Each structure stands twice: as structure tokens, then as C-alpha cells.
Chain A
């Protein structure tokens, strides 16, 4: 079974430019999460989709960040315009929505996209 995949693995952009990150969750996983880790700090929650609906976007830093999950499959996270403080590693994770498994719904993480804003 394929794991969570993310694209690109690295992105280097200049301040003011736009970047779009993509996440493909494990097939059949309705829960999709975005997290971010800024260098040396903790992994911080950004938002949570259940299928195509935003369940919780309380962690989104500001309106420069836009996440979508059209059709309830892959998700994109767009940063526009990018600022220096947006640099970090962006992780995507997915899990099943299955009350028979709950609460053992472990989240499976992708390898992350390392974003550098110069």
C-alpha cells in the first residue's frame, strides 16, 4: 500500500512569490491534516479536512495560506505571497474515519515539503 506522498520535496522561492504544495493521502483515508515544523521547533497543526470539508482550520497562520481538497482526494496548500517566516517543513498526514477503529486512528505522515523563502 502506498503511503502519503508530497510534492515537491523541496521548494526555494523568493519573498512575495507563490508556492503550491501538494499532498496525496493514503487511498481511502478521509481525514487529511496539514502540519508545519519551523526549524528546531515543534510540529504545529495547520488544518484538518474530512473528505472535502474543512473540519478545523484554527492553525492556519493568516489569509496568505489557502488549502483545498477538491473531490476529497489530494489536497493543495497555497502560500501567496510567501514571507520569510513561512520557511519550514510542511507535513501532510492522513487517517481513516472509522469509528470501529477509533481511537486507534493513527495518523500516517508524508515525508514533508521543505520550503525556503529567501
Chain B
């Protein structure tokens, strides 16, 4: 089952903050965040792991609430370059599982930053 992202769309002015949420009904091992600009490849932003470890972008932060099976992406002091569609991808399983690495994506959140 795909994770559910909210909101579906956000419009900001430069310098404003935004939060994008990603919720799953299934137990998760990791959450991966990507940003895609129109016509371009999705670009990796963050990985968050069960247990609290994370790796990713310097200016973007995220959290992973294991109890709620929810991750939130925090975009602070937004810049024009932040515009795009944000996807969360969830993974279950581990290095020994056959589904290792397979991501199940949410429907995307469209973020638009205006000057």
C-alpha cells in the first residue's frame, strides 16, 4: 500500500517554511525523500531510518515517528529552487529480504515558491 502525503500542494513566498507529511499504514524500515522538478530526474534528499538515524541534505531536515509510522520533511527559509514535487518513498524489509531497496512512493506534494 502506498504512503499518503499531505498536503497535496503548498504555495509559499521565499523565506517561508513548510512541512510535508508522509504516513503509512504498514510498519516501515526506512523513509526516502526525493524532489523532482518538471522534466528532470527525482533528486535524493534524505533517508530516515527506524531508530532515528538519518542522512541527507544540509538545509532540509526531517523526522520519523515510528509509533505513528509517519515522516515529516521540514523546509525552512524556502528558496525559489525548492519548487518542485516532493515524494516520499517507503521501504520495508532488510538486506536479506528479496524486496531490498524497492521503494513505494506517495502521490507527491507540489511545492511552489514565489519571489
Contacts and interface: CB of A to CB of B under 8 A. Distances in A.
Given A33-B101, A33-B102, A104 B55 contact: yes
Given A42-B2, A109-B34, A56 B41 contact: no
Contacts, number: 69
Scoring B42, B87, B89 by chain A CB atoms within 10 A of each residue's CB, the highest score goes to B42
Nearest to B3: A42
Contact of A107 (B40, B95, B103, B104): B103
Nearest to B32: A106
Contacts of A108: 41, 44
Contact of A103 (B34, B43, B49): B49
Interface residues of B, number: 29
Interface stretch (B12-20, B67-75, B76-84, B105-113): B105-113
Interface string B28-49: 0110101000011111100101
A42 B108 contact: yes
Contact of A48 (B43, B89, B102): B102
Contacts of A55: 98, 100
Interface of A: 3-4, 31, 33, 35, 41-45, 48, 55-56, 59, 91, 95, 99, 102-112
11 contacts: A42-B2, A42-B108, A99-B95, A103-B30, A103-B94, A104-B55, A107-B101, A110-B41, A111-B40, A111-B41, A112-B41
